[in-house]
Structure formats: structure tokens, C-alpha cells
Amino acid sequence: MVSFSKTIAVVTGGGSGLGRALCLELSARGAVVYAADIDEPGAAETARLASDERAADAPCGDAATGFVSCGDVRAVPLDVSDPSSIRALLDRVAAEQGRLDLMVNNAAVNVIGLTADIPLERAQEVLRVNLLGGMAGCTLALARMAEQGTGLIVNVASAAGLLAYPTTAAYTASKAGLIALSRSLRAEARHHGVRVTVACPGVVDTPIYGRQAVHGMDRAAYRRLLPSRAMDPRRAARIILSAAARGREIVVFPLTVRLACLLARYVPPAARLIRARAVRGFRAARRDG
């Protein structure tokens, strides 16, 4: 599965951002990919972009990067907050392909603001999509992969789940839970010949920052608090797939995030100061907004 050629894959949240990048990278490596998203036009656009790449014959057949052939991306509707929707999709994949090699649980939503300012219903939605949706995807995919005796599950978490970043409490909790779920599941899945990798990227240039609800301040003011440079989603996708192909348990990137995680682990007072500074910055921007 190192090259992902002829792999049968499902990518949730495949209609935009990192999910789209993962679909395109997998297709370029010769996989058949189901781009699954509640945003059906977005998933259809992912499939169209993959088709355009195949027509341009790029980057297919590049031996230097491990690409062997272009695969196929198929847009499918999916609501990850509904386990029956996930089950129906996996039933379709089994009927059409006869197996499931790779399940990427990537779909996520976010809500920004101080916890006291965020309606509880919005926070619960984040947990329902990010954590419970990921758990359902893992559980249902593992059941099918266990029957095959092989498979790979990749959960896309976030560095926020390791760093406990403030003003995103529900998102941070959901991603921390997904990391713990992945590490626990990895120990169980080995018995069935199934591998589990969890990815913890830093800020990736995706539409989530434009779509997420912001409470207590102007969206433009919040955007100014984010790092000026975000990682290209295609590069992030390559890092994740490379780590998963090598059987890594957890992949944290880029280097600045790995260093921040080390700081949080070994110098807790410094990490607390950084969190406090982030909260002060949010409060100041809220007043300015």
C-alpha cells in the first residue's frame, strides 16, 4: 500500500481543503477514491479536478515521487454525524469494489470564541461531527477491514488537540479525543491486520477558517490573529500519506508545531503563558472589533 496504487479509499470531508487534497493525491497515486461530503457540489468539484489532472497526465507516472498511475475520484454524499449515512456509503463501496483498503476520517467543523460566548448547541455539533463522526467511521470501517484481514485507517486530528489551544475549546476537545481514540484503536486493530495513523497538522490553508462561526468578535479581526503563513493542503496531504504508508502511529507537523508540542510537554509554565497570551489577544481583538 506504499504507493496506494489500486487502493480503494474513502475520504470524508473530501469536498474541500485538506480532504480534497487527500483525494487528489490518492487519485494521482492510482487509487479509486470516494470523495464523501455533505457538501455535494464540493465533492463533485473534487472529482472534476481529479479528472482534469488525469487529462493533463500530471503528476501521474512520476517515479521520483512514487506516483504510478492516475486513479479515479467519485463524489458521494455523506453526513458523518449520521452513522447510518456512513454505513450506507461503506455498503456501496463494498458492492462496487468488493473491499475497503483505506478509510480517511477527515470531516470537521469548528466554532471560535471564548467558551462562555458559544451556544452549547454549537459546541455539541462540533463534538458530534469531529469526534463521534470519526468514531463511527473508525468503528464501521474496522468491522469491514477485519473481515478482509487488512486495511488502513487514517484519522485527521489537529495540533490543537495536543496543545489545548484556547478560544477553540470544543474543537480542541474533539481533536484530543480523536487522537486518544486513534491510539487506542491502533492497539486493537493490529489483531485484525489493520493499521491506524492519526495526523496532527498545524494551520493548513483550507476553507474552514472562512466557514467557521466566530462568536464575540468580527471574523476579519479573528483572521488577523491567525499565523500569516498556512501550509499548502497538497503538501500536508503528502506528509500524511507518507507517514501512513510507513505505518506511523502519529504524525505531527510542521516543525514549528512539533517544537511547540515539546515545549508544552517539558516546560508547562511556558505553555500556560502562551495560552494566556492567546486569550489576551482574542479579548483585545474583540474589543477592537
Mean pLDDT over 7-21 rounds to: 98
* Residue 1 counted as domain residue: no
* Cα–Cα distance list, 172 to 57, 110, 118, 135, 159 (Å): 40, 9, 14, 16, 9
Q: Is 171 a catalytic residue?
A: yes
What's the predicted TM-score (pTM) here?
0.91
Q: Could you tell me the CATH number of the domain that includes residue 100?
A: 3.40.50.720
Closest CA to 122 of 178, 171, 172: 171
Q: Are 1 and 94 in contact (CB under 8 A)?
A: no
Determine which helix (DSSP H) or strand (DSSP E) holds 229, and give its type and residue range. Answer: none
Percentage, residues of the chain above pLDDT 70: 92
* Residue 163 counted as domain residue: yes
* Cα–Cα distance list, 187 to 101, 106, 173, 181, 190 (Å): 18, 21, 22, 10, 6
Backbone phi and psi for residue 157, each to the nearest 5 degrees, phi listed first? -95, -135
* Residue 2 counted as domain residue: no
Per the structure, the complete domain to which residue 222 belongs is given by 8-288
* Residue 3 counted as domain residue: no
Task: Render pLDDT for 152-206 as a digit per residue (tens, 0 to 9).
Answer: 999 999 999 999 988 999 999 999 999 999 999 999 999 999 999 999 999 999 8
**Spatial distance between the Cα atoms of 207 and 182, rounded to a whole number of angstroms:** 25
Enter the C-alpha cell of residue 156.
Answer: 485527521
Gyration radius of the chain's alpha carbons: 19
- Is the peptide bond preceding residue 227 cis, with omega within 30 degrees of 0? no
Residue in 34, 171, 209, 222 annotated catalytic:
171
Total domains, the chain: 1
Closest CA to 31 of 134, 154, 146: 154
